[in-house]
Amino acid sequence: MASVTPVNELFDKLDCQYRIRRNHRAKRLSLSVDTYGAVDLTIPRHNSHMDAFVFVHEHLSWLLDQLHKQKLHRQTHGLLYELSPTQIILPSLQQQWRVIYHNRGEVTRLQEADYTLSIKGPKATEPAPVLQRWLRQKAKRYCRWLLDKLCLEHGLQYNVLSIRRQRTRWGSCSSRKNISLNQNIMFMHSGCVRYLCVHELCHTVHLNHSKQYWQLVKTIEPDYRRFENMLNQAADTIPAWAMFR
């Protein structure tokens, strides 16, 4: 059981979701609030929990302001913040799915037919994990097809594709040419998903962001700057159930 520290107690009093992380690479204390009203506090190795408490207390006005702004944002964009959605829109596939719930049966199952998802079982009232698995499968099929198509068209090659749910990164490519993509890219426009695949595939040639790398990107996607800007704003389109832990 995690020990209760002054900073834990402070966050509990604010009645907000929060995560406190030790990061040995971090050089300074940092505090952030995401669009779901969850607070992230990063503590470097050389700082104590009391240091963190003082830091948060010094930034308390800013923190309260951010929590208030994100609450108003969620109220304005209510459908994005439903944990039990009645519809799911996937711009990447130009699809709209209806979701219905049946709170019966011993095992929670998801069935899809005619753009309708039926969730049955004891956890039908808490569907986020089931919907996230469904989304991951959709993303894996679509992104594998897209990557293979791009490789065939441009003479590129990757090794393994993995699909994950991540908060801060849309994609990555390792030195072994293994590509990882965020399953929530399915809420992006199809052109943006294609660009992200291009971006990571070009890292199989240049594992950096050098001039040569961007030249290769531009050769395949001349309008890459527009898609980069779209990626920077894409987090605002992710519904709450897709990020729920």
Read off the pLDDT of residues 126-182 as tens digits, 9 standing for 90 and up: 788 899 999 999 999 999 999 999 999 999 999 999 999 887 789 999 999 999 999
**β-strand 39-44 against 18-23: which pairing, if any?**
parallel
Average pLDDT over residues 87-91: 94
Q: Find which of 23-37, 97-111, 132-146 is predicted with most confidence, using mean pLDDT.
A: 132-146
Question: DSSP label at 178?
Answer: -
Question: Do the beta carbons of residue 81 and residue 36 sit within 8 Å?
Answer: yes
**β-strand 171-173 against 179-182: which pairing, if any?**
antiparallel
Query: What pLDDT, on the 0 to 100 scale, is given for residue 1?
Result: 39
Higher local confidence (pLDDT), 167 or 29: 29
Length of the chain in residues, anyone? Answer: 245
CATH superfamily of 132-243: Metalloproteases ("zincins"), catalytic domain (3.30.2010.10)
If pLDDT is split at 50, 70 and 90, which confidence band does 3 have? low
- Identify the helix (H) or strand (E) that includes residue 82: none
The structural domains of the chain, with segments of one domain joined by +, span: 6-76, 132-243
If pLDDT is split at 50, 70 and 90, which confidence band does 2 have? very low
Question: Do the beta carbons of residue 158 and residue 147 sit within 8 Å?
Answer: yes
Type of residue numbered 236: D
Longest CA–CA span in the chain (Å) reads 57
* Placement of tokens 């240049």 in the chain: 206
Average pLDDT over residues 79-108: 84
**β-strand 30-33 against 18-23: which pairing, if any?**
unpaired
Question: Do the beta carbons of residue 230 and residue 29 sit within 8 Å?
Answer: no
